[in-house]
Amino acid sequence: MFNIQDILITTFQKLIAQLQEFVPNLVGAIVLLAVGSFVAKFVTKVLKTALEKSGFDKLGEKLNQIDAIKKMGEIKLSIVISKTLHYFILLVFVTAATEKLGMKVLTDMVGSLVNLIPKLIASAIMLFAGIMIADALKNAVLNICKSLKIESGKLLGSIVFGFFVVIALIAALKQAGIETSLLESSFNLLIGGIIFAFAVGYGMASRDVLANILSNFYSKTKFKEGQVIAINGIKGEIIAMDTTSITLKTEESVSIFPMSFLQNQRVEIFSE
């Protein structure tokens, strides 16, 4: 009975000693968290106001004009940056608080998050820059196709946009320290398959167009507007010639023939 009493007294004394040591650390950790919360809110408010007054949100307005960003919702860069800094400051004080409490595992985990945030910020900047470049290239492709009267300009612009966005995403993930080997391999295979399918499909679909273009090259010295010719028995005056077609005006109507008819069909010339 005497031994049990000694054990209980010793255990209680150790518990009191540990509690006396832990309580000041707990109070210190709570104070650190309170100070961190105040500092984070103050710095966030000051930074947000400064960014808004400096017109930094105008860059965000350009991002919001991009279709892909518009679908995700409106982005206000002053809020994004200030909130990111807010949580960064909080995590720094949380790290100090957990270290004060002697929680090494939790301290290491929070410390890893603190070290990850600058990488995530750099990754986000790379991704947004890549999206803006991709959108600029998309608009350039649309304008070029529009000037050349290519009907598939919107499709080509979307393909260019998606291609450069994926490249920017892979670069951003690398910056964040995420392994991207599998994603890169899959992307390369996908691009190779698309290029092969496009080349085969476009080659088959453009055979007739290419034949007409070559026929125009070989026939432009033999035929000209104002001539009277007959193609497959249809007689008329040449009133127009372009890269892929020739237009004849007959007595009753206007007939349009592919330029390749001048090479592989019977053509009669009645007047120069």
* Average pLDDT estimate for 211-219: 65
Please tell me whether residues 140 and 199 are part of one structural domain. yes
Return the minimum-mean-pLDDT range out of 135-144, 249-258, 260-269: 260-269
pLDDT digits (tens, 9 = 90+) for 86-107: 888 888 888 888 877 777 767 7
Give the total number of structural domains in the chain. Answer: 3
Please tell me whether residues 96 and 135 are part of one structural domain. no
The parent domain of residue 199 ranges over 118-205
Whether residue 86 is contained in a domain is answered as yes
Contact 224, 238 (CB under 8 A): yes
Return the minimum-mean-pLDDT range out of 32-36, 197-201, 203-207, 226-230: 203-207
**What does the DSSP assignment read for 40-109?**
HHHHHHHHHHHHHHTTTHHHHHHHHTSHHHHHH----HHHHHHHHHHHHHHHHHHHHHHHHHT-HHHHHH
Whether residue 113 is contained in a domain is answered as no
Contact 32, 100 (CB under 8 A): yes
Please tell me whether residues 28 and 94 are part of one structural domain. yes
Q: How far is CA 237 from CA 221, 231, 244, 249, in A?
A: 17, 11, 18, 5
C-alpha closest to that of 251 among 228, 267, 225: 228
Q: Has residue 32 got a pLDDT over 80? A: yes
Please tell me whether residues 8 and 98 are part of one structural domain. yes
Whether residue 210 is contained in a domain is answered as no
Last residue of a domain, one of 186, 205, 224: 205
Task: Write down the pLDDT at residue 141.
Answer: 80
Percent of the chain at pLDDT > 90 equals: 0
Which CATH number does the domain housing residue 251 bear? 2.30.30.60
Rg for the chain (alpha carbons), in Å? 36
> Residue 19 corresponds to which tokens in the numbers above?
């509690």
